[in-house]
Amino acid sequence: MNTLVAVAIAPFGVGEELSGEVAEVVRVIRASGLPNRTYSMFTEIEGEWDEVMDVVKRATFVLAEKGIRTEVVLKADIRPGFSNMMDAKVERVDDILEGR
């Protein structure tokens, strides 16, 4: 079943600059081969439920396995019969804004 998640996976309690640890998380997500986009606060991942959740688990554990306390914030949209929602949702809003 197609699933689109917005996930933030970040170390907790390791200092003020977290970009190195966040980059490790994003590397795992990008290597998954699933469609994904990283923004300033969340990364979106789209695919089948089990595949997406496996990527979230592996991305989380890349930090946790180093003994780093890790915080995960996840929002999921499960929409049977739909795909490419990462692009389609934005396109529908853009169409409205542009009067199409």
How does pLDDT run across 6-60, given as a tens digit for each residue?
Answer: 999 999 877 778 899 999 999 999 999 999 999 999 999 999 999 999 999 999 9
Q: What is the mean pLDDT of residues 89-97?
A: 95
Q: Which domain holds residue 79?
A: 2-97
Q: Phi-psi category of 81—alpha, beta or left, where left has phi over 0 and alpha has psi -120 to 50?
A: left
Q: Closest Cα to residue 25, out of 64, 82, 74?
A: 64
The CATH number given to whatever domain includes residue 8 is 3.30.70.930
Model-level pTM?
0.90
pLDDT confidence of residue 23? 97
pLDDT confidence of residue 49? 97
Q: What is the mean pLDDT of residues 73-99?
A: 94
What CA–CA distances, in Å, run from 39 to 19, 26, 45?
13, 11, 12
Number of domains, the chain: 1
Q: What is the mean pLDDT of residues 53-75?
A: 96
